[in-house]
Amino acid sequence: MAPRHTLATQAAELAFAAPQVIAHRLARIAAAGHAPSARDRREFHRMGAEKFAAFNESWVAMGAEAWRVQVAWTMQWLRWCWLPWTGTMPWPTRRQLDRALHGIAGEGLAPVHRRALANAKRLGRHTRP
C-alpha cells in the first residue's frame, strides 16, 4: 500500500495538477470545435463521469471516517459510564478534534487527489495530433 499523504501535501499536489488538467481539457474542447471526434467525446464524457464518481467516493469516505471517530468517542464515553471512578468524563480535546477533522478532510480529498494526479499524468503524455 502506498504511503498516505498528509492533507497539506494532497492539497499542494492538487493545486498543481488541477490547473494542468483543466488547461488541457479546455484546449481540447476549443480544438474539437462543433464536431468533436469519437476520442474527444469519450474524454468529454469521462470529465463528467469522473467528477460524479470522485464526489461520491469523497462523500462516502468522509462519512465513514466521521462514523469511525464518533464510534471511538462514544466507546470512551460508555467506558466512563460503566467505570466512572477511572477518571473525569472523557470530553474530546482540541487536539483530538483537530486530528479528527483533518482525518475527515483527508479522506474526502483523497479520491479527488488521486484522480487529478492520474489525469495530469495521463493527459500530459498525450498531445493532440
Residue 5 — very low, low, confident or very high, per pLDDT cuts 50/70/90? low
Asked whether residue 58 is assigned to any structural domain, the reply reads yes
Asked whether residue 43 is assigned to any structural domain, the reply reads no
Domain that holds residue 67: 53-129
The residue type of 111 is: P
pLDDT at 2: 41
Residue 20 — very low, low, confident or very high, per pLDDT cuts 50/70/90? very high
pLDDT higher than 70, residue 69 = yes
Domain count, the chain: 1
